Structure 1
Amino acid sequence: MTSESSHQKQTRARIIEVAAELLTASSTGQISTREVCAAAGVKPPTLYHHFGDKDGLLHAVVADGFERYLARKRAVGTTGDVVTDFRRGWDMHVEFGVTHPALYNVMYGRPMARQDVPAAAVARTDLVATMRTLDDAGRLRLPVEVAADAVETAAVGVTLHLIRTDGTRDDPAAAIVRDAVIAAVIGPSRTYTDTPASPHLAATAAQVRDALPHGPVATLRASETALLRDWLDELATAAPTEGPERHRRPSPR
């Protein structure tokens, strides 16, 4: 019984592996169950026994793809510097996509395909956790979930673009978008001193902040406007008794 179960698992894994390979080699991102069976050396009833139908097979391929993605992400590790780690994580994401274009397209180009895929949920949870770490460190410019949405949208968008244009991880577009996202999402590190903002300075900062319109300001870039608001918020809420150990103002939710 154990031997039969082991054989079944090996057969299932082999079919998933072959399907992923065929997807990667496909110029259209489409595969048929017939070619999967032929490449895996199994008969159609065997494939249907394990996956039900083609959609079930693609769901299994997506699950396997996200598990491989998470394993690759874990292997990158951390350096202790949040910006460096963000860059490394972004570059790994793009590299995974352009290296496995058809698989990535199924994983991220077809939202329904990753529904009920635990590893896909873990990938999202990891991203949110990264944003929360930045928020706890006082480096996040946006609410956690908004930041996670912005990062995922940009990373997936640029990766799908590179796949469509046969680009590579080193394509300038990937670095430009990555650095723009960093500027919009991650703020500078702060070193607090024993010299607090005076009540007059705090009041003036609050006045300027409240006078700023919503949306773009003059010729400032979006990232510059966000930074200006962040600075004014910090000055406006600074209490004269606060020093180097003061608590950071919580981000709005």
Structure 2
Amino acid sequence: MDDAPPELLDLPSGQALVSWRRSSRARRVSLRIDPRFGAVVVTLPPRASRGAGMALLVDHAGWVSDRLAALPDALPFVDGALVPIRDIPHRIVHRPGARGGAWIEGQEIHVAGEAAFVSRRVHDLLRVLARRQLGEHVARKAALLGCEVARLTVRDTSSRWGSCAPNGGLSFSWRLVMAPDAVQDYVAAHEVAHLRHMNHGSRFWALVDRLTPNAETAKDWLHEHGARLLRVG
């Protein structure tokens, strides 16, 4: 699948950032919104032309414009920004004369070094925290089932909060570090349950309910606030 940077295109409803993806699994041309970049993603099957994608974009220009306009404002990692950790706002404090990368003091994220390093260092810190927090949730859930997790990784994904590989490896979006603890608990339970059931059948959901009391409220929270998390950083 191609992964080119978004390009700015003129559509009947105005300009929009557009990313092009080619997928061997796609059966038709499709559109989706990527909140991370504030862009519309056009997915093309192997033999579909760019022209087919442009035709779909033009036909759905109003939908694209409305969806992009509805996205939450982007929140870059800069001095003074309020970044949620477990849904608690933490203010970024740039300390150019300090050393030590980035660390948390109370409800502040302190960042040492030059201003150009602030974004990367906050990002790195949150990835470490995400792996630690989600790892704790996963360890508890796996222990309840007597399962072993082959590997746990954190990534920057736009369509899934977590995934389970056939070899037992689990992967999560680092952005879950910004979600409430109950949401992290649910996503961890969801992926650990896949170690037993690699589907979304009734036995899978029954196991999720055994592993966490937070499934319904967490799904509602992610539906309402997930796009906001994807606009951070």
TM-score, normalised to structure 1, is 0.24
Structure number with greater Rg is: 1
Which structure has more strand as a fraction of its residues? 2
User: Greater helix percent: which structure?
Assistant: 1
TM-score, normalising length from structure 2?
0.25
